[in-house]
Amino acid sequence: MNRLGKSSAVVLLCSLMLMSGVGTAEAQQKGTTSSAKASSTKVSTDPVPQIVRDVSASVVGIIGKDALGQSNSNSDRYNLVHGTGVIIRADGWIVTNAHVVSGLTNAMVVTSDGKSYTIKKVFKDETSDIALVKITASGLTPAKFTKSILDTEVGEKVIAIGTPVSFSLRNSATVGVVSGMNRGVNAAYRLIQTDTAINPGNSGGPLVNMKGEVLGINTMKFAANGVENMGFSIPSDTVQYVIDQLMKYGEVKRPSLGLALEESWSAIVGLPTDDPLTVTKVLSSEAQAAGIQEDDVLYSINGITVTNIVDINELFKKYVPGQTVKLLMQSDGDIVIRSIQLSRQGLMLDEESEVKI
């Protein structure tokens, strides 16, 4: 699995219209008039071109120097990387991927009308791979995000708009379908899977439905020999959750159980399962106060069954640190309910790949 990442970096057809001398001038004139009428009355039934025109006004290119990956020669003006962003407010707020702006210096935003702006502020959340950037601008065109990702169906047509491979290819559009929903692959939250062509530089760009609504922010793809058209987008509900947190706090204040949890084998390989999670470490004072011990198993949180870490992350979008939740657990062979106050330790990985949450 690769992040879409930041991207580094005529045939002239001449046709000679041969006019036939057959027929009268009057017949030629009638033919021309008839053709003109047909052209003027032709109506496209494909909504894609209009959607691309409408949404492109809200899509920007992001470009700068990669301070983390550049050579010792800081004077190399061509050592640039780029990605894509989506305008969310008319006063210059733009959402993109965290990996697009990580380590980016001298960063600029270029809007669809060719205007350039220096990025003034950056707020990012590595866990979700979402970032906010601020430019000094007004009168921009915000994108419209879907109100409910639950209305999205597998198989419906979608459009990706972004800046693939070269910055000169800004606002390129590709069309595909939603291949799957609620995909838990190499990410903290569930993703939308699509076969729409997305390439390095598309990161941070929108995946748009046929209503012109942003379903998600493109974030990664599978890239390997024999693998084709498997891209992933962060759903709009997760994007909005992170945006709200970054706008309010400048960071995402995630709640935590204060536990290191191990998923079952079935959950790890993606099999349908009701197997619980196993506690491998008790990390917080709140978890210790709740009486939780190593080797306890966790079945549900506030009555919602959880079988993997993504389940917990999705559930915790509704909670904040300091709130109390009830855990249905098994401890020493007994089924028990533990009340625990959520802490703020967040999600980490240790050397043994235990997930701490």
> Per DSSP, what are the bridge partners of residue 86?
59, 95
- Indicate the pLDDT class of residue 345, thresholds 50, 70 and 90: low
Give the per-residue pLDDT at 348.
38
As to burial, measured by CB atoms within 10 angstroms (0-12 exposed, 13-18 middle, 19+ buried), residue 310 is: buried
Nearest to 93, CA basis, from 46, 43, 143, 45: 143
Beta strands in 36-156, from DSSP E residues, in sequence order: 59-66, 80-89, 93-96, 104-110, 116-125, 130-135
Give the per-residue pLDDT at 165.
86
Give the per-residue pLDDT at 243.
97
Q: How long, in residues, is the chain?
A: 357
Do the Cβ atoms of 123 and 132 come closer than 8 Å?
Answer: yes
- Indicate the pLDDT class of residue 159, thresholds 50, 70 and 90: very high
- Indicate the pLDDT class of residue 351, thresholds 50, 70 and 90: very low
Residue with tokens 């930041």: 6
Residue 197 pLDDT greater than 70, yes or no: yes
The 10s digit of each residue's pLDDT in 247-288 is 999 999 999 999 999 999 999 888 889 999 999 999 999 999
Single-letter residue type at 351: E
Give the per-residue pLDDT at 5.
61
Give the per-residue pLDDT at 44.
67
The 10s digit of each residue's pLDDT in 164-177 is 988 888 889 999 99
For the stretch 22-37, what's the b/e string if a residue is b when 16 or more beta carbons lie within 10 angstroms of its beta carbon?
A: eeeeeeeeeeeeeeee
> What domains can you pick out in the chain, each with its CATH number?
56-135 (2.40.10.10), 149-249 (2.40.10.10), 259-356 (2.30.42.10)
Distance, CA of 354 to CA of 324 (rounded, Å): 24
Distance, CA of 83 to CA of 202 (rounded, Å): 6
Give the per-residue pLDDT at 222.
79
DSSP 6: P
Catalytic residues, which ones? 99, 129, 203
Residue 58: C-alpha distances to residues 84, 104, 205, 210 (Å): 11, 22, 10, 16
Distance, CA of 345 to CA of 270 (rounded, Å): 27
Sign of the C-alpha dihedral computed for residues 193, 101, 206 and 235 taken in this order = positive
On average, the pLDDT of the chain sits at 85
Residue 242 pLDDT greater than 90, yes or no: yes
Residue with tokens 């922010």: 217
Rounded mean pLDDT, 350-356:
41
Q: Which residue has the higher pLDDT, 21 or 123?
A: 123
Any residues with CB less than 8 A from the CB of 155 and at least 6 apart, and which?
177, 178
* H helix runs in the chain, sequence order: 25-41, 48-56, 98-101, 236-249, 265-269, 285-289, 309-315
Least-confidence region, from 73-82, 107-116, 326-335: 73-82
Least-confidence region, from 5-9, 56-60, 282-286: 5-9
Nearest to 302, CA basis, from 286, 292, 316: 316
Residue 122 pLDDT greater than 80, yes or no: yes
Residue 14 pLDDT greater than 60, yes or no: no
